[in-house]
């Protein structure tokens, strides 16, 4: 009876519910076969297919690979020829494997740069295998559909287990014998907790497998359990790698991803010094724009072995050659077991020798002696400083650099030498000083010129000096030797004014933390007779943003508790950092400058950027600063002048 009386209400409610349900359904995009809608955390994930291959972006990538047991992902670039060749084969494989519920996907690495960096993609195409969201292998097989299908069927077999990695695990028991017996071996020092080590592990293992056929072993050492070994090789962080040759250790200077490691180690397997058997071969092998090191030997003597070890340190920096031919040595008027550094003809001048012979401890000179000798003698009076040679040849200061259109190609040599010879006239005056002179190509050093505010000028010649700090001359249309001499004399007298890249000095300070820029650093940090705590930060740095409220709290509290402390900060990306701090390697970086030793800043190494930890650090480092009364031995807080004035 009740239902009959209220049936219009029931019908109306039913219509509203149906309408609401239909509205909800309308929000979903129907699946037309091209777009797969997967219900996921926080909403729906849409995966677009192109020729049976799933297209992934940074928005859906991690969800997709974590929600599938096994996925093969191709990282490609649209312009890559190899990628274009692979595309039809990859699609064929995807079509077949789709029927077996084995997905193949791809990522445009030119658009999704964050994903490419995350998975250390260094070449295209790169095919990465993921299992349960983790990268476990990199496909190295043939680039055809059949090979990819076989590979994925093997990897998705529930009974399949990854092969034991061909990386040798070294401990104190087998380390010395392994590296001594190996003609060439790469050793990685790692820590089990290190995220970078975990990220690198599949790359390192893939490289080890690839290098097996070349007879180049890869090994690893747990630096936390074998700390004595890590310390003996100056391992300061993880992962770090060292190259060993018959027990000799060398710094590893190559890439950290699979292909890069393979290519670099194959290069290291070649001799760093080339054997030459004739005069013509020696002459043609010499570098025409850089110093060449030549070893003349009668046999594989002790000096020969040391020279070959030294040439490894010089690999990629200078050309090294060696010969056992007596007639070649006779032509150059040198006796066997001699090592000579030859300057190229473009640097020959009446003010310097064109070659230098290694003499010290001829019979037993070691590799380090040879490298140091070459480092000194390979620098001409005025040579070209390049990105390739600057760390080896031009790292010592003071250094005077002349920037212009330096180019030693045959058609430009005359113009380049015209300016270089004018620089040579200045350099000869200071030949007995510790200053070095160099010329540099302005395009190669554009960023350095920008840091000197010399990049966007119309003049052809720019001159700068480096001596821990930066100094610059006003640019010139033509090189003026007299002006440059006066500039160097001014620097030598200590009256030169350093140049700093700096933000404008703030007109008003806001908040409890003092904002410092390069141009106000001396006045606000070095000159005040107070302790200083300073943070170097980057505006984009997440850790710096997290530190900000803690740092402000510290500044506010210290203003009352310790008036002899300045709490400051500097944007290290927009300002040159004073040389007393060395190179800032990460953000945020905090230093304490005690009032009596401001040239010796103390780094904060607590790691915990909280108010409590920072206050503990400040309390430990704070100076005992006497007031005027305490310095005079007066018990009162008032000065005598003030007391007398009050009495009057």
Distance CA 318, CA 311 (A): 9
* Helix or strand holding residue 59 (H, E): none
Are 534 and 570 within 8 A, CB to CB? yes
Neighbours of 76 (CB within 10 A): 23
Distance CA 261, CA 253 (A): 10
Distance CA 105, CA 83 (A): 14
Closest-CA residue to 64 (of 49, 48, 45, 50): 45
Are 166 and 218 within 8 A, CB to CB? yes
Distance CA 270, CA 502 (A): 47
Choosing from 18, 80, 320, 544, the catalytic residue is 544
Instruction: DSSP letter for 102, please.
Output: -
**Residue 18: active-site member:** no
Instruction: DSSP letter for 461, please.
Output: B
Closest-CA residue to 539 (of 508, 574, 511, 585): 574
Distance CA 188, CA 204 (A): 9
Give me 225's structure tokens. 């359990």
What's the CA angle centered on 124, arms 120 and 129, to 5 degrees? 60
Distances (CA, A) of 247 to 185, 235, 305, 309: 9, 17, 13, 11
Q: Is the dihedral angle over the CA atoms 145, 147, 150, 156 positive or is it negative?
A: negative
Which residues have C-beta within 8 Å of that of residue 482, sequence separation ≥ 6? none
Cα 123 versus chain centre, distance: 19
Kindly report each contact of residues 142-151 with a partner whose C-beta sits within 8 Å and lies 24 or more positions away, as own/partner.
Answer: 143/82, 143/85, 143/86, 143/89, 144/89, 145/89, 145/90, 145/92, 145/93, 145/96, 148/72, 148/89, 148/90, 148/93, 148/104, 149/93, 149/96, 149/97, 151/72
Neighbours of 453 (CB within 10 A): 11
**Residue 80: active-site member:** no
**Residue 197: active-site member:** yes
How do the residues of the chain divide into helix, strand and coil, expressed in percent and rounded to 5? 40, 20, 40
Choosing from 18, 83, 194, 320, the catalytic residue is 194
Choosing from 18, 80, 197, 320, the catalytic residue is 197
Closest-CA residue to 151 (of 86, 93, 84, 83): 93
Helix 81-98 vs helix 145-155: crossing angle, to nearest 10: 50
Choosing from 18, 80, 320, 541, the catalytic residue is 541
Give me 622's structure tokens. 């704070």
CA atoms within 13 A on the CB side of 287: 19
Return the active site residues.
Answer: 194, 197, 541, 544
């Amino acid at each position: 009876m009740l239902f009959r009386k209220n049936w219009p209400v029931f019908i109306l409610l039913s219509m509203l519910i149906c309408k609401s349900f239909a509205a909800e359904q309308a929000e979903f995009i129907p699946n037309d076969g091209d777009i797969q809608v997967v219900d996921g955390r926080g909403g729906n994930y849409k995966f677009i297919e192109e020729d049976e291959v799933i297209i992934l972006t940074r928005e859906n990538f991690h969800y997709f690979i974590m929600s599938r047991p096994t996925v093969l992902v191709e990282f490609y670039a649209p312009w890559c020829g190899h990628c274009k060749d692979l595309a039809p084969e990859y699609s064929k494989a995807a079509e077949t494997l789709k029927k077996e519920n084995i997905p193949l996907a791809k990522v445009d690495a030119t658009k999704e740069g964050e994903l490419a960096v995350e998975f250390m993609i260094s070449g295209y195409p790169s095919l990465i295998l993921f299992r349960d969201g983790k990268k476990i292998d990199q496909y190295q097989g043939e680039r055809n559909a059949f090979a990819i299908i076989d590979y994925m069927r093997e990897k998705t077999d529930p009974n399949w287990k990854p092969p034991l990695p061909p990386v040798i695990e070294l401990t104190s028991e087998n380390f010395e014998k392994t590296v001594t017996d190996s003609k060439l071996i790469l050793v990685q020092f790692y820590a089990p907790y290190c995220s970078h080590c975990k990220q690198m592990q599949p790359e390192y293992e893939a490289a080890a497998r690839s290098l097996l056929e070349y007879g180049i072993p890869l090994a690893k050492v747990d630096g936390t359990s074998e700390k004595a070994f890590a310390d003996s090789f100056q391992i300061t962080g993880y992962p770090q790698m060292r190259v060993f040759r018959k027990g000799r250790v060398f710094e590893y200077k190559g890439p950290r991803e699979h292909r890069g490691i393979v290519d670099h180690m194959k290069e290291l397997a070649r001799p760093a010094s080339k054997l030459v058997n004739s005069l013509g071969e020696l002459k043609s092998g010499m570098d025409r724009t850089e110093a060449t090191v030549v070893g003349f030997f009668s046999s594989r003597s002790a000096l020969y072995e040391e020279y070959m070890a030294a040439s490894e340190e010089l690999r990629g920096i200078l050309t090294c050659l060696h010969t056992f031919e007596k007639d070649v040595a006779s032509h150059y008027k040198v006796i066997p077991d001699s090592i000579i550094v030859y300057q190229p003809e473009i640097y020959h001048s009446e003010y310097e020798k064109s070659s230098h012979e290694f003499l010290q401890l001829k019979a037993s000179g070691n590799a380090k002696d040879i490298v140091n000798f070459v480092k000194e003698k390979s620098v001409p009076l005025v040579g070209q400083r390049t990105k390739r040679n600057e760390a080896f040849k031009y790292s010592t200061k003071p250094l005077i650099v002349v920037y212009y259109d330096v180019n030693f190609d045959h058609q430009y040599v005359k113009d380049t030498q015209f300016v270089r010879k004018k620089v040579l006239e200045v350099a000869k005056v200071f030949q007995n000083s510790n200053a070095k002179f160099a010329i540099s190509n302005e395009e190669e050093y554009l960023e350095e010129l920008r840091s000197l505010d010399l990049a966007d000028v119309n003049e052809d010649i720019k001159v700068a000096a480096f001596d821990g700090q930066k100094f610059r001359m006003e640019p010139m249309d033509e090189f003026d030797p007299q002006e440059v001499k006066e500039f160097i004399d001014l620097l030598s007298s200590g009256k030169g004014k350093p140049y700093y890249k700096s933000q404008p000095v703030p007109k008003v300070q806001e908040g409890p933390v003092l904002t410092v820029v390069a141009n106000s650093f001396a006045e606000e940090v070095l000159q005040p007779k107070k302790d200083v705590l300073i943070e170097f930060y980057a505006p984009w740095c997440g850790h710096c943003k997290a530190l900000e409220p803690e740092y402000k709290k510290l500044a506010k509290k210290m203003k009352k508790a310790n008036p002899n402390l300045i709490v400051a900060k500097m944007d290290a990306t927009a300002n040159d950092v004073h040389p007393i701090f060395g190179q800032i390697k990460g953000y945020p970086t905090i230093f304490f400058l005690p009032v009596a030793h401001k040239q010796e800043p103390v780094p904060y190494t607590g790691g915990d950027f909280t108010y409590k930890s920072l206050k503990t650090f400040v309390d430990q480092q704070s100076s005992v600063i006497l007031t005027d009364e305490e310095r005079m031995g007066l018990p009162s807080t008032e000065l005598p002048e003030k007391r007398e004035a009050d009495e009057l």
